[in-house]
Amino acid sequence: MTTTSEQLLAWDPARGLADAPPVPDGRLLAADSWLIHDGHVRALPRHRERFLRACAETSDLSAGQLSAFWRDMTAALPHAGRWFPRVELVPAGPAGQPGLRFRLRVAPPLSPEVRLWAQGQPDPRTAPRRKGPDLGALAGVRDLAVSRGADEAVLTTDSGVVIEAAHSSILWWEGETLCLPSPELLLLPGVTSGLIEERARRSGIPVDHRFRTVPELDGREVWLVNALHGIRPVTGWTGGPTGAGPMRAGPAVRAAEWRSWLAEMTDPLPLD
């Protein structure tokens, strides 16, 4: 397998992975992605669990087929360089069965911080608890935030409660308490946010799930977290919520230590 900036491979039970012609991203039934740096990856079994669960919920592919795809895909992962691969479940084609694909991509530049658009955006997702179907809509929301001078946008409920960002989970600190949006909201189960929450609980740090609007994050230490960038503290807000003044970014007093910890949470890829 060659390692260009992006390569798409389709999986077949009889042939395994094989080069597939380039196609537009289109609508995905499920997807997952993670960062690889010189043969090391963070929490790959958790990405496997999330993706295979989504596939089982949205297709009639057998557990054996899904496991075989994952095994072939893992064997094709490169052990040198920085990559951001994506696994995909696509809708049924002429043969009538959903297809599994592997998209090998060079990782984009990583950022240690983020500027957030303070104008909360209505959640455009149709399947908020499953990664894949709404990637196009979320990219559109983020593009709108970029056009406003930010890097990311906050998704909110109709009543203005913070859910997550377009491509990241959102966490924040209230005093000594690590806060996350309530699980009663329509959240994507984030792998990175799960690791952070577990570490906080093991360390005796208070953790709470709270309902907060964007203005209620003013002046707080806020993090956006995902598999690509890890932890990015919000160091600036662009614009302000309707009817409110400019938002202030709180000092990122905890981010450096937690970023260092997360960077060490990697394991080598299997050699066979």
What distance in Å separates the CA atoms of residue 222 and residue 20, rounded to the nearest whole number?
41
Give 20-33 pLDDT, tens digit per residue. Answer: 876 655 689 999 99
Q: Is there a single domain that holds both residue 232 and residue 250?
A: yes
The pLDDT score that the predictor gives to residue 270 is 84
Total domains in the fold of the chain? 2
CATH code of 174's domain: 3.20.10.10
Q: Is there a single domain that holds both residue 74 and residue 138?
A: no
Q: Write out the residue range of the structural domain in which residue 181 sits.
A: 114-263
107 token code pair = 């990782």
Please state the pTM of the whole predicted model: 0.93
Higher-pLDDT residue of 107, 20: 107
Q: Is there a single domain that holds both residue 31 and residue 61?
A: yes
Alpha-carbon torsion angle 135, 141, 146, 148, nearest 10: 180
Residue 203 lies in a domain: yes
pLDDT classification of 272: cutoffs 50, 70, 90:
low
Residue 255 main-chain phi, psi, to 5 deg: -60, -40
**Whether the Cβ atoms of residue 124 and residue 90 lie closer than 8 Å to each other:** no
Residue 119 lies in a domain: yes
What distance in Å separates the CA atoms of residue 247 and residue 219, rounded to the nearest whole number?
7
Q: Is there a single domain that holds both residue 65 and residue 90?
A: yes
Q: Is there a single domain that holds both residue 12 and residue 101?
A: yes
Amino acid at 138: L
Q: Is there a single domain that holds both residue 138 and residue 237?
A: yes
Q: Is there a single domain that holds both residue 59 and residue 134?
A: no
Q: Is there a single domain that holds both residue 72 and residue 164?
A: no
Q: Is there a single domain that holds both residue 157 and residue 240?
A: yes
Residue 157 lies in a domain: yes
3-state secondary structure of 131: coil
Residue 212 main-chain phi, psi, to 5 deg: -140, 145
What distance in Å separates the CA atoms of residue 66 and residue 49, rounded to the nearest whole number?
11
Sign of CA dihedral 233, 260, 196, 89: positive
Region 40-69: what's the mean pLDDT?
A: 97
- Domain final residue pick, 105, 137, 168: 105
Residue 248 predicted with pLDDT over 50: yes
Q: Is there a single domain that holds both residue 122 and residue 34?
A: no
Chain centroid to CA 34: 8
Q: Give, for 32, the enclosing helix (H) or strand (E).
A: strand 30-33
Residue 268 lies in a domain: no
CATH code of 43's domain: 3.30.470.10
The pLDDT score that the predictor gives to residue 132 is 96
- Domain final residue pick, 105, 140, 159: 105
Give 56-106 pLDDT, tens digit per residue. Answer: 999 999 999 999 999 999 999 999 999 999 999 998 765 667 799 999 999
Share of the chain above pLDDT 70, in %: 93
Q: Is there a single domain that holds both residue 255 and residue 157?
A: yes
- Domain final residue pick, 105, 137, 171: 105
Q: Is there a single domain that holds both residue 95 and residue 148?
A: no
Give 218-244 pLDDT, tens digit per residue. Answer: 999 999 999 999 999 999 999 876 666
Alpha-carbon torsion angle 51, 190, 162, 209, nearest 10: 130
Q: What is the CA radius of gyration of the chain?
A: 19
